[in-house]
Structure 1
Amino acid sequence: MVPLLAVGHACVDVYQGAVASLVPFFVAERAYGYAAVSGVVLAASLLSSVAQPVFGALTDRRPMPWLLPLSTLLGGVGIALSALGGSYGWTLAFVAVSGVGVAAYHPESARVARAVSGGSHRAMGWFSLGGNVGFALAPLLVAGVDGAGGLALAPLLVVPALVGAVLCLPVVGEGRRQPEAEGEAPVRVADDRGSFLRLSLAVVCRSVVFVGLGTFVSLYAAGRLGGGTAAGTAALVVLYAGGAVGSLLGGALADRWGRVAVARWSYLLTAGALAGLLLVPGPALYGFTALTSMGLYVPFSLQVTLAQDYLPSRIGTASGVTLGLTVSVGGLAAPLVGALADATSLRTALAPLVLMPLLAWLFFRTLPEPVTEAAASPTVAAGAPGS
């Protein structure tokens, strides 16, 4: 069931990656400036920042696996229509609709993935990998469709949503099952809200870097290296593909050294790699982009399971807040980066992002490795993989 969830996750996260992938085409066909395209990213994030925790709280009250196919369709239809909007306002509205769809999908899918995997770090890494693959495919999909016929062919972008909705149908029945449906109920561990808050602040810092790069790295690469949208698309592919590698590494490394330690060191790597991306000239930009992406994504699935273990009584809320902050806060910050880029240069505007991974590292220095329900219950620990 986890592989099916991972593929469905890819089909949904195509539409998170598609927002940034459409940016060069909005600039080319509609003459949007940096501030305007960052406003598009903000529209995708604004409602999501509110809706995702709300959907998480709702799934804590009652499983809602039917949200998976419905939200997948909503995400795809919003993006497909956003490129056809005749005005900037309609573009923002349709992108916002897509953002709500993506927001509705993630808390419930994370709950189901945890339930069917027994909380395994590796399984959650594979689930997260699906989203990274979707991100990585988005620039290729958008470039293939819009590159062939411009924004007029954008309705074809709904195809992954149709595929993902069909793949979600078998999960709907499985998702109705509670994680404690079989066997003895695990010992409950008290919520650690202080650690959850500090973890959330670290996720905020990560979000600002990831969304800022996702919005502007294609334009930055094109300006630094030439090559137009092809160079920009290549940079986005590298950014998202590096994330796929990082997700798998995160689960494997955490099994050996622990989630908190692995996340802490990955953020230090990210700060150095991001500085190299901005300062080292030439095609090395692509190598530093890959390292930055890996550093940002090694902690990704680990942060989700940490949040769930810090708030064991509110799994959906923990997932919704953590996954929501992953994109939403960065989207809120993107217009500031765009406005600074319009006033100075894109490199100058991106330079402050180097501080964000360092702040995330500081927050992780204060976090304990949580005691999980499985660890607290010998009966459950004997049968649960990788908790």
Structure 2
Amino acid sequence: MSSSLTAADSIRSQQTTVFTVLFAISLVHLLNDTVQSVVPAIFPIVQESLHFSFSQIGLIAFAMNITASLLQPFIGLYTDKRPLPYLLPVGVMFSLIGVVVLALAGSFAQMIIAVILIGIGSSVLHPESSRVAYLAAGPRRGLAQSIFQLGGNFGQSLAPILTALIFVPLGQFGIIWFTFAAAAALVVQTIVAKWYKNHIVNRPKAARTIRSSRPLSPKIMILSMTILIMLLFSKFVYLASMTGYYAFFLKDHFNLTTERSQLFIFALLAAGTLGGFVGGPLSDRFGRRNMIWFSILGTAPFSMVLPYANELFSAILCICIGFILLSGFSVIVVYGQELLPGKVGMVSGLFFGVAFGLGGIGSAILGAMADHFGLTFVIQICAYLPLIGLLAAFLPTDKQLKITVEPAESALSS
């Protein structure tokens, strides 16, 4: 792979899609999110072994996600002006250390330290790797972001399987095996960082992205960004309710084992992996706003039925929800990048950061609600969150986002 990531590729990537780079960062995203998915995957284990409450479980998820949420936008904003290619492997090092601490943690405080380290690693990976996807995309930005997101979605979908196959029989210390995933990600990120550096050095510097003759007003841009963040709120708080608490709901309602209940979460996330992959290319074909609308509002009929379904129908609904809900995140990222051209890192960092932050805040609040009102109430009330997708009607159309680009890239590095 390293021979493919050359300076010549970096020049050609301005007009063509560099798939070697895209699949490399997708692989790293897979490895990173597999490590990250370990945290919610061990919740059923540590709840019993370390006697954690639902509130403590929510706070652990909150600590990891809020770390990434706060750091990502600032990292993206800084590297928009001063790209730092070798920050990519440095971020993986934080995740590697976090995995070791997580495997050995014997207290709530140690768990918090471990997940903060993993959160720091994710805060570097997402905005910078998303920028690499943008650089390697050529004219196919939706497809490029979907390839990058494919790895992350697949890594997240492995969490329930990891619980069933590793953490139930081996316990918390089984996490130590994921140091191999982090080490592999470190190697690949070093290779990607070399391509990224060569791309910056060899890229022509002449032109900038130029707005069309009828640019969007600041008021519309602020409103659009607010709507996009609200859509992310509906998407990721609902997802937090499913990945963090739906397995407990299934165990209570259908008397399922931990292993069997995790298979429902795997079905949701595996379907989401496929949905996330097809969402980007479909947005290239049918429009970003249409795909955003479908991915959130289209989830609502299935989510509202889920709390009342029987076991078999619940599995089918999880597949439908996962496919539709996760088909739109990469599209939202690309839509934001086109809404604010020249701010690729900031937009990517902001949206990934908001996703992490909302997931963390949602987990903490939902955990407290579960302790006080019960799991059934949490699952039932969260089922209505996808209705926020109605706000997509107020986003500018794809034609309104069109920009004129001269024969070089936007100002990714001044």
TM-score, normalised by the number of residues in structure 1? 0.91
Matched residue, 2:263: 234
Select 1:117's aligned residue among 124, 129, 137.
137
In structure 2, the residue corresponding to 1:365 is in which secondary structure? helix
Q: What are the within-5 Å matches in structure 2 for residues 16-165 of structure 1?
A: 16-118=36-138, 119-165=140-186
Matched residue, 2:331: 302
Closer, same or farther in 2 for the Cα pair 1:374/1:175, shift >3 Å?
farther
- Provide the C-alpha distance between the structure 2 equivalents of 1:110 and 1:287, rounded to a whole number of angstroms: 32
Q: Could you give the per-residue CA deviations for residues 127-170 of structure 1, whole angstroms, max 9, x where no partner exists?
A: 11111111112332344332332112322222211111111121
Q: Could you give the per-residue CA deviations for residues 87-119 of structure 1, whole angstroms, max 9, x where no partner exists?
A: 111111211111111111100000011011125
Matched residue, 1:385: none
Aligned residue identity for 2:115? V
Aligned residue identity for 1:91? M
Aligned positions, number: 380
- Provide the C-alpha distance between the structure 1 equivalents of 2:86 and 2:159, rounded to a whole number of angstroms: 25
Select 1:345's aligned residue among 357, 374, 380.
374
Aligned residue identity for 1:165? L
Does 85-94 or 215-224 show the bigger shift? 215-224
Q: Could you give the per-residue CA deviations for residues 226-271 of structure 1, whole angstroms, max 9, x where no partner exists?
A: 3321123212211221111111221232123211111112212211
Closer, same or farther in 2 for the Cα pair 1:187/1:285, shift >3 Å?
same
Does 302-311 or 144-153 show the bigger shift? 144-153
Q: Could you give the per-residue CA deviations for residues 178-207 of structure 1, whole angstroms, max 9, x where no partner exists?
A: 499248635423673432232122112212
Does 88-97 or 133-142 show the bigger shift? 133-142
Q: Are the counterparts in 2 of residues 250 and 302 from structure 1 also a CA contact under 8 Å?
A: yes
Aligned residue identity for 1:154? I
Matched residue, 2:249: 220
Matched residue, 2:318: 289
Closer, same or farther in 2 for the Cα pair 1:13/1:7, shift >3 Å?
same
Gaps spanning 5+ residues in structure 2: where? 1-20, 410-414
Closer, same or farther in 2 for the Cα pair 1:373/1:365, shift >3 Å?
closer
Q: Could you give the per-residue CA deviations for residues 317-346 of structure 1, whole angstroms, max 9, x where no partner exists?
A: 100011111121121122221122112221
- Provide the C-alpha distance between the structure 2 equivalents of 1:262 and 1:121, rounded to a whole number of angstroms: 11
Closer, same or farther in 2 for the Cα pair 1:227/1:355, shift >3 Å?
closer
- Provide the C-alpha distance between the structure 1 equivalents of 2:187 and 2:91, rounded to a whole number of angstroms: 12
- Provide the C-alpha distance between the structure 2 equivalents of 1:358 and 1:169, rounded to a whole number of angstroms: 42
Aligned residue identity for 1:141? L
- Provide the C-alpha distance between the structure 2 equivalents of 1:107 and 1:152, rounded to a whole number of angstroms: 31
Does 102-111 or 191-200 show the bigger shift? 191-200
Select 2:397's aligned residue among 335, 357, 369.
369
Closer, same or farther in 2 for the Cα pair 1:80/1:241, shift >3 Å?
farther
Gaps spanning 5+ residues in structure 1: where? 382-387
- Provide the C-alpha distance between the structure 1 equivalents of 2:75 and 2:375, rounded to a whole number of angstroms: 36
Select 1:4's aligned residue among 24, 39, 45.
24
Aligned residue identity for 2:189? C
- Provide the C-alpha distance between the structure 2 equivalents of 1:358 and 1:25, rounded to a whole number of angstroms: 33
Q: What are the within-5 Å matches in structure 2 for residues 250-265 of structure 1?
A: 250-265=279-294
Does 142-151 or 280-289 show the bigger shift? 142-151
Does 297-306 or 234-243 show the bigger shift? 234-243
- Provide the C-alpha distance between the structure 2 equivalents of 1:36 and 1:187, rounded to a whole number of angstroms: 47
Offset, 1:370: 4.6
Between the aligned residues of both structures, percent identity stands at 25
Aligned residue identity for 1:134? G
Larger Rg computed on CA atoms: 2
Does 246-255 or 369-378 show the bigger shift? 369-378
Closer, same or farther in 2 for the Cα pair 1:310/1:43, shift >3 Å?
same
Q: Are the counterparts in 2 of residues 44 and 99 from structure 1 also a CA contact under 8 Å?
A: yes
Aligned residue identity for 1:259? R
Closer, same or farther in 2 for the Cα pair 1:58/1:250, shift >3 Å?
same
Matched residue, 2:227: 198
Offset, 1:36: 1.7
In structure 1, the residue corresponding to 2:396 is in which secondary structure? coil
1:181 aligns with 2:203: yes
Q: Are the counterparts in 1 of residues 22 and 133 from structure 2 also a CA contact under 8 Å?
A: yes
Offset, 1:349: 1.2
Offset, 1:281: 1.5
In structure 1, the residue corresponding to 2:383 is in which secondary structure? helix
